[in-house]
Structure 1
């Protein structure tokens, strides 16, 4: 079954089948920010069956005026606190933030396709 995703304005496509063998490169690596909105905080809290206040305290940190999901250290790298190495998946997949849902179709990568290909084996030229 074809899982090729295309998006207008991007010079590449994405083969979602690559996720099964990739080892979560989009969820691991260098430290970064995974920003969440108020609505996303509410959705993730509900999915985890946690009070919003408890969720924020345990899983988020504030960066200026935004909240970001915490990371955990793994060897020399970092990974999203919700990345599950055993299943090679996301523990909050059904409520994951927009930033995660839209990867690899970020404006940042429009002019950096070679950089993106190093991170994501599912990226293919059109």
Structure 2
């Protein structure tokens, strides 16, 4: 079932990609390995790290000026995914509801500041 979102992800600075734990499956690792022409065990070591009980493997992060850290596959200039065709399943399924956390943040800030322009959604972040 496709859910009609109420926010344009192309206007987002990759908020969901800043989540601390972006879980990956064995299939995700194989897809990344194929994308980079690497053995799966090498891709697992290079692109993922140990997570927690709920998410045993997660994507590695890199430094980011907006969120502190972000998925290693985000282009920090364009805010776009550099492995879009090989992205993990969770990224393919997101957002799985009408609005995402960033959209909720925008609504909250605009209501709090009583200013519809407080946090811009018109920027294209280099895209």
TM-score tier by shorter-chain length is: 0.5 to 0.7
Check the 8 A contact 2:64/2:76 in 1, yes or no: no
The alpha-carbon deviation at position 43 of structure 1 amounts to 0.7
Query: Gaps spanning 5+ residues in structure 2: where?
Result: 107-120, 122-127
Query: 1:43 maps to which residue?
Result: 31
TM-score (norm 2): 0.66
The alpha-carbon deviation at position 37 of structure 1 amounts to 0.8
TM-score (norm 1): 0.66
Query: Gaps spanning 5+ residues in structure 1: where?
Result: 8-12, 122-126
SS at structure 2 position matched to 1:68? strand
| Structure with more of its chain in strand, by fraction | 1
TM alignment of 1:80-119, pairs within 5 A: 80-105=71-96, 115=101, 117-118=103-104
Query: Which consecutive segments of 4 or more residues in structure 1 shift more than 4 A?
Result: 113-116
Counterpart of 2:60 (choices 56, 60, 70) is 70
Aligned equivalents of 1:24, 1:116: Cα separation in 2: 9
The verdict on how the C-alpha distance between 1:47 and 1:62 changes in structure 2, with shifts beyond 3 A counting, is: same
Q: What does the per-residue CA deviation read over 1:72-91, in whole Å, with 9 as the maximum and x for residues that have no partner? A: 12235211000112232111
Tell me the number of residue pairs that the alignment of Structure 1 and Structure 2 aligns: 104
